[in-house]
Amino acid sequence: MLERSFDIARINEVVNHPAVRPFVGPGEDMLDLAPLVARPENWFLMGEHGGFALIWSAPRVHEIHTFILPGGRGVWAKEAAQELIAFAGKNNDIMVWTKVAPGQKNVELFTRSAGLKPTGMDVETFDVPYKTYSLELTSCL
């Protein structure tokens, strides 16, 4: 379903898709994730309907960024999220975490359905407080 990808053209295509891009960082300019893909500590997992970036944030800890095309939202995305968590665990992560922008109830529900729990802390990104969620992977192995 998912595989580690270094295909910058495909990753950029999905991230810049009109149904995805408004929710990936500020501004309207096209994003180029090539510098992030080039870093070996970051992992991009892609499949038929998009995927995830696991961005290194501390030893054995990655931040999840989700970019799923409309055709993959729902069952495919839930199964892909479980595959992502398994991948992180198999690659020795002890925790994954993510942040959810205010008002994105659908993303919050998706995050919780994947097993991530609220941390009770916010992180400010682009002057906006995002709720954070995490999952300890030692409990998943």
Q: What pTM did the predictor assign?
A: 0.94
If pLDDT is split at 50, 70 and 90, which confidence band does 129 have?
A: very high
Identify whether the C-beta of residue 135 lies closer than 8 Å to the C-beta of residue 116: yes
Residue 134: pLDDT above 70?
A: yes
What are the counts of helices (DSSP H) followed by strands (DSSP E) for the chain? Answer: 4, 7
pLDDT at 2: 98
| pLDDT for res 23 | 87
pLDDT band at 25 (very low <50, low <70, confident <90, very high): confident
pLDDT band at 85 (very low <50, low <70, confident <90, very high): very high
Q: How many CB atoms lie within 10 A of CB 123?
A: 13
In the chain, where the domains are located: 3-139
Confidence of residue 139 (pLDDT cuts 50, 70, 90): low
Q: For the residues 11-22, what does the mean pLDDT come to? A: 96
Residue 123 CA to residue 134 CA, distance in Å, equals 13
Q: Are 26 and 101 in contact (CB under 8 A)?
A: no
Nearest CA to 98 out of 23, 5, 34 is that of 23
3-class SS of residue 30: coil
Tens of pLDDT, residue by residue over 91-107, are: 999 999 999 999 999 99
Residues 6+ away with beta carbon under 8 Å from 113? 78, 81
Residue given tokens 């994003």 in the structure block: 31
Whether the per-residue pLDDT at 4 is higher than 80: the answer is yes
Looking at CATH, the fold of the domain delimited by 3-139 is given as: Aminopeptidase (3.40.630)
DSSP state of 16: T
